[in-house]
Amino acid sequence: MKSTDYRLQKEIQNIKPDNQEWFKDFVRQVLESDKPYYSKADYLGLSIQELQNKIDYLAEDIKQMQALKKSLTNAKTTALEAVASVLAEYGIDRLDGTAISSITITPQKTKVKEELIILDEKSLIELGYFKPVLDMEAIEQALELKSDEEINRHVQVEVSKETTPARIKVNAKRSANNTQADELL
């Protein structure tokens, strides 16, 4: 993993939603520096890109580690069952050790799981084993198609707003020839 820790990137890593003023001051210092505008843009953008690179790298590592964990768990389960089978072949139900107390064979267990399968749904409905449920899609379609007073007096449409604060977007160049932000500032 090629990862460069720019000072701005370190500042971003330590930012908290309830304490942003010191970070904003640092960004102001970058913008007010004597460097050319493109150097400032590169520094800001590369710092954020490097942080995203770390996030992507960690996400991939997490996926690989989860796959490894699953594989090791399956291998352990298979090994425990195989050793139990071999010990049972030899008539051994307990094997004492010095570094460990002992190895014992747990008895085979069978779980019973019940599943209800409906053979005649119509007959059960006729016997009263049902509950009415509103068809929300049909109600929404009726409201969209027409302003039906019959429906409108029974429903209320609530509108909620979720505001996403303004953010920057780093638009990377298509070429791989990016200059280092440290050299720029």
Question: Where do the domains of the chain lie?
Answer: 7-110, 121-152
Contacts of 129 (CB under 8 A, 6+ apart): none
Q: Does the pLDDT at position 79 exceed 90?
A: yes
User: In the structure, what pLDDT confidence band is assigned to residue 184 with cuts at 50, 70 and 90?
Assistant: low
Is there a contact between 9 and 51 (Cβ–Cβ < 8 Å)?
A: yes
Residue 181 has what pLDDT?
Answer: 52
Q: For residue 52, what are the CA distances in angstroms to 57, 169, 183, 185?
A: 8, 12, 20, 21
Integer Cα distance of 33 and 27 in angstroms: 10
* DSSP label at residue 103: E
Mean pLDDT of 22-34: 92
In the chain, which ranges are continuous DSSP H helix?
7-13, 21-31, 37-89, 121-126, 136-145, 149-152, 181-184
Is there a contact between 70 and 62 (Cβ–Cβ < 8 Å)?
A: no
Q: Is the pTM of this model over 0.95?
A: no
Pull the structure tokens for residue 166: 């303004």
